[in-house]
Amino acid sequence: METIKMNKNQIKEIIPHREPMLLIDEVLEMVPGETIRTAFYLDPELDFFRGHFPGEPVMPGVLTVESMAQTADVLLLSMDKYAGKVPLFIGIDQVKFKRKIEPGDKIEIEAKIVKVNEPKAVVTCEAVVHNKGEVSTTGLVTLAMR
């Protein structure tokens, strides 16, 4: 199957998120309905770094999880059966934070579909965040396609 790449504008055509809550910049590779790898560049000027934490800024864990969910959103909304739907974040499970993410870092987020409940249009994706070549965050995100 063909691998797809996308820039930020193409991502915006698929998911409803916008700045400052759009937390992926590009799709590095995607096989629709199977796997995806995205990237997010953490500009040191991002507003959340001012308060989390002054003197030693790090990306908040909740925003890391949100970038995982948005990566899964692109993967799912690229499928014909979910195109045009609104992805509602309904669950996070087994999330582990293993390495901090700092201003200037570039994270890569991978996701793959691991469970589908077709009648309810609920999909669970396993997601992994890489930073500086090491695993930073892992977990499962569950989305309802409405």
- The edge-to-edge listing of strands for the beta sheet with 26-31 is 4-6, 26-31, 35-41, 106-117, 122-131, 134-145, 87-97
Q: What angle do CA 77, 81, 83 make, to 5 degrees?
A: 35
Return the half-sphere exposure (C-beta side, CA atoms, 13 A cut-off) of residue 23. Answer: 23
Question: Residue 26 CB: number of other CB atoms within 10 A?
Answer: 16
DSSP strands (E only) in 1-146: 4-6, 26-31, 35-41, 87-97, 106-117, 122-131, 134-145
> Is 52 among the residues known to form the active site?
yes
Q: Which residues are 93's β-sheet partners?
A: 140
Among residues 28, 39, 46, 52, the one annotated as catalytic is: 52
As a whole number of angstroms, the distance between CA 24 and CA 65 comes to 12
Residues annotated catalytic, as ranges:
52
